[in-house]
Chains A and B, each alone.
Chain A
Amino acid sequence: MKLTHLALAIALAFVSTEARAERLVIKGSDTLGAKLVPQLAEQFKAQNPGATFDIAAEGSTTGIAAIIDGTAQIGMASRRAKPAEISAASAKGVNMKPTIVAYDGIAVIVNAANPIKGLTKKQVEQIFTGDITDWSAVGGSSGRISIYTRNTSSGTYSDFKELAMKKRDYAGSSQKMAGNEQIASEVGKNANGIGYVGLAYIKAGGTKVVPIDGQLPTVQSVHAKTYPYARPTFYYTNGEPTGLAKKFLDFTIGPVGQKIVTQVGFVPIQ
């Protein structure tokens, strides 16, 4: 008797979750999809039981293509859609609508004992590509520059090439570190070190952030677009988002979502 009750309850539970379960498919940029969006999704699920997510982070291009093909409700992108993509979308009757959800910034750090007061964009390019190998060439005290970068397959590795190095290759003398944490600790221990890290890691001991063209990476300078190594990141939707996609987008740009944005190391939109 009791067993039948239990079975019935379980069956009911299944039916009810089945009815309430909504699936949100998100595809695109690994900058967003690696850490930020999964964390947002976790928090969102806690508030909206029954929602399920399908997140695939394979690059901005796949995110935009997924919106055009209608295979995802939200496309994550760390760049704006290209004109070719927009025209391809409108040919299919898809209206690409971008919403900025966070800013992504990369800070250049040096050892705290390094006397330099700032670098220009040109100098950063020259240092990381190996055109300049001595600190005295950029106004520091003489010493061979040690370059620390992310490993070659990290998203930030190529983002930095694009933002700061005119897509040139890193110097052969650069050292590939496992993550932000290790870059910060090596730069903190090496008086001639230079590296770049996400904004969440700029408070590591023994390091200091270098102003680029006089600009420090702060929430203000990123918003004012005066800091060069930052860019907006987007959710692309087909027209105005509806249903669960709208709820998730509102959650992302709402106060709770933006708090997570800050924790993960991005710059919030306001």
Chain B
Amino acid sequence: MSVLTETAGLQAPRAKSAHRKGRALENVIRLFFGGNAFVAVVVLVLITLFLIREGFGFFGGNLQNLRSYRAAGLEYVDIMRTQAEAHAALSRALSEVRVREARKLAEQGRSLEEMNSALAGFDQFATSFSDAGNNLAGLVSDLGDQAIALKERAATGEPADVAALRSNYPAYEQISAATTVEINALLANPPQLSTPEAQRAFDKVKARMRTSLAEFPAEAQRLREWDPGRPVRWYESITSFLLGKEWITASFWQDWYGVIPLLAGSVMVSVVALTLAVPFGVASAVYISEIATRPEQNLIKPYIEFIAAIPSVVLGFFGIAVLGQAIRALSELPILSWVPFFPLSERLNVFTAGALLALMAVPTIFTLSEDALRNVPRAFKEASYALGANRLQTIARVIVPSSLSGIVSAILLGLGRVIGETMVVLLCAGNRIAIPDFTEGLGAFFQPVHTMTGIIAQEMGEVVQGSIHYRALFMVGLVLFFLTLLINLAAQKISARYRMSIG
């Protein structure tokens, strides 16, 4: 209403009043824009506060979680379990040795029966070794039941008394001693394998067996020294989250909320995405701004920017249906069998997700880099040509260096986009909550991972509101938030600081 009178006022011949009304209009406009900006800021602050409020409750809950883990003796049982699991891992290593030997024998054209008889001694060894661990596994399983019962009782408020649990220590010592004797007897008389390659692998496993035996006294020491009353410090709740290597939820045993596997997944996917997207994005920006003719520019530029319009869920489906399958089919080609980690068993892995995310980062990197390149003053280029440099020299020595800060911040903003992407990684990263096995070298980039964004999307819908799991997901969200915040800040700082002085 007032705006209408303003316009009427402006048309009026009396200049003074028109002037006053013009100021009033200006005020209204100022209030309108200022108000909107203010609302946006308030909403952002509220969201941040909400995130922090929901998330920080996690630490109290997690501390409780860690305390009951110690008080109910779950920690005690887990010391023994580590030993039992080391044994199981060695059994698995033995069966891998067998697979290797069997494959070599099959290549030599032996029949199945010949193979089985040649491997009979080894099988005997492997079975005896595996059986040697049965007693300990049984004890761990029994004690585990007791500890769980203690934990449940403690949850109802009764004090947990771990004395009964610890009274099993002599049994443990007995079993441990018997196992040592058995394994030493086995190691004294190991079978021979016919192929040198398998024999080498077997020797390695035997060495591992010896080191694991040597650790038995240390384990026993830890069991003896274990103290249920040792306080869990408040910061352990934070470190167990930020440095925790396990994310195990809805467990009957103990829930762990460690962000490292998820962080590793997010970072690896982003590394792949940027490795692919940076050359494409920057090179095409250079081409468009420096080399391309006008019709080429008109064709390529909107086309690349159009990629940004593809919904990420569509890209995700493309990844599942086409790209993942294609990558696996490629890895199964006989010509590529020299690549150590081929053929791939998982089609949904870091690379599949990263390749798709690269597609989403290219438009961001391209557009912003191109802006940076265009902002290089014309005089720079002309000066370079005047000094006799050709076009390639001008691009490489003058134009790209002088817009480098803009390009770097474009890349960082692309990274911010990639690390926050959810749908593609949820569908295509394979969702395995484990730190990839880096001993495989580049093969680690072809293993499935789970990501910070993916886990929030996957689990938030089904957790009980207000539970520790729910709060843990908010904490993951906060970590993600700070990560993107840092990336964006870095992008701003770089473009502000290292801008080449123009003029």
Contacts and interface: CB of A to CB of B under 8 A. Distances in A.
B387 interface: no
Given A176-B433, A186-B348, A189-B325, A151 B459 contact: yes
Contact of A169 (B253, B320, B345, B434): B253
Interface in A32-60: none
B92 A174 contact: no
Most buried by B among A132, A134, A142, A158: A142
Interface string B121-154: 0000000000000000000010000000000000
Given A153-B250, A169-B251, A177-B431, A133 B92 contact: yes
Given A152-B249, A152-B459, A173 B348 contact: no
A178 B458 contact: yes
Contacts of A90: none
B432 A143 contact: no
A142 B99 contact: yes
A146 interface: yes
Interface string A149-162: 00111100110011
Contacts of B461: 153
Nearest to A30: B462
B345 A143 contact: yes
A190 B347 contact: yes
A151 B253 contact: no
A113 interface: no
Given A153-B250, A169-B248, A176-B433, A137 B95 contact: yes
A192 B332 CA distance: 14
Nearest to A126: B88
B86 to A, nearest CB: 13
A134 B99 CA distance: 9
A190 B99 contact: no
A96 B367 CA distance: 68
Contacts of A190: 345-347
A189 B346 CA distance: 9
Mostly, the A contact residues are loop
Interface in B417-475: 426-427, 430-434, 448, 450, 458-459, 461-463, 469
A175 B248 contact: no
A166 B246 CA distance: 21
B255 to A, nearest CB: 10
Interface string A171-187: 01111111000000110
B450 A176 contact: yes
Nearest to B431: A176
Contacts of A168: 252-253
A151 B248 CA distance: 11
B252 A161 contact: yes
A175 to B, nearest CB: 5
A60 to B, nearest CB: 15
A158 B325 CA distance: 30
A35 B88 CA distance: 40
A69 interface: no
B434 A172 contact: yes
A213 interface: no
B96 interface: yes
B413 interface: no
A185 B321 CA distance: 10
Given A136-B95, A137-B95, A157-B250, A174 B432 contact: yes
B250 A158 contact: yes
B348 A146 contact: no
Contact of B346 (A133, A143, A146, A151): A146
A72 to B, nearest CB: 19
Given A146-B346, A152-B249, A176 B458 contact: yes
Most buried by B among A131, A133, A144, A152: A152
Given A178-B426, A190-B345, A151 B458 contact: yes
B102 interface: yes
Contacts of A246: none
A247 interface: no
B162 to A, nearest CB: 20
Contact of A175 (B92, B103, B246, B431): B431
A131 B249 contact: no
Contacts of B463: 153
Contacts of A142: 99, 102-103
A167 interface: yes
Nearest to A59: B464
A169 to B, nearest CB: 5
B391 to A, nearest CB: 49
B75 to A, nearest CB: 16
Nearest to B464: A58
Interface string A6-34: 00000000000000000000000000000
19 contacts: A133-B92, A134-B95, A136-B95, A142-B99, A151-B458, A151-B462, A153-B250, A153-B461, A157-B250, A167-B252, A167-B253, A172-B432, A175-B346, A175-B431, A176-B458, A178-B427, A185-B320, A189-B325, A190-B346
Interface of B: 88, 92, 95-96, 98-99, 102-103, 141, 246, 248-253, 320, 325, 345-348, 426-427, 430-434, 448, 450, 458-459, 461-463, 469
Given A131-B92, A176-B432, 6 more contacts: A134-B99, A136-B98, A151-B462, A178-B427, A186-B348, A190-B345
Interface of A: 131-134, 136-137, 142-144, 146, 151-154, 157-158, 161-162, 166-169, 172-178, 185-186, 189-190, 192
Leading 9 A-B pairs by shortest Cβ distance: A153-B462, A167-B252, A172-B434, A176-B431, A142-B99, A175-B432, A152-B249, A152-B250, A151-B458
